[in-house]
Amino acid sequence: MALLSRLFVPHRSITGVVVSTGKMMKTVKVRVATRTWNSHIRKFYPSSVNYLVSDPNNSTREGDVVAIRSGWRTAKHVRHIVTSIIAPFGTPVADRPPLPSLVELEERREEKYEEKKARKKVRVREENAARRAERRKSEIRK
C-alpha cells in the first residue's frame, strides 16, 4: 500500500525539449520554456530553464519533446523523471528502448533499498563480531 500511496502524490508535470543526451549515464538535459517579468517595462519576455532529467533506459534523443515530472532525487542535480515522449525526433519510439512506468520505477527503487538494508545488516553484524573478538582478546591479555 505504501508503494501506491507514494505514486499518486501530486507532482508537477512539465513539457520540454531534450537538448543534450549521451554525456551522462541515464540522464538528459531538457529545456523548458518559461516567461520572465520585467517590472520596469511591465512586460513578460520569453526565457528558458534547463533541467537534468533521469532517463532510466536511455530512450530519448536530442530534439524529442518529452513530458517530465518532479520526483525523487537520483543524483545531486537530477530531480525529475521522463514520463513520456510526446513527439519523437529522428528514430521512431518503437525502435527505442521503452520508458519504464512509474510503478516499475518505484518497484526498482524499493528493491535497491531492500538490498541496501540487507548489506547494512551484514556489515553491522560483522562489525559487532569484530568488536566482540577484540574484547575477548583484551580480556584474555589481562
Q: Radius of gyration of the chain from Cα atoms?
A: 23
Query: Which tens digits make up the pLDDT trace of 75-112?
Result: 999 999 999 999 999 899 999 999 998 889 889 989 99
Q: Does the domain spanning 2-97 belong to CATH 2.40.50.140?
A: yes
Q: Are 80 and 70 in contact (CB under 8 A)?
A: yes
Query: How is the chain split into domains, by residue range?
Result: 2-97, 101-142
pLDDT value of residue 1: 47
Query: Which tens digits make up the pLDDT trace of 112-139?
Result: 999 999 999 999 999 999 999 999 888 8
pLDDT value of residue 9: 61
Q: Is this prediction's pTM over 0.85?
A: no
pLDDT value of residue 10: 64
Q: Are 68 and 82 in contact (CB under 8 A)?
A: yes
pLDDT at 4 over 60: no
Query: Which tens digits make up the pLDDT trace of 14-63?
Result: 999 999 999 999 999 999 999 999 999 999 999 999 999 999 999 999 99
Closest Cα to residue 72, out of 94, 91, 53, 59?
Answer: 53
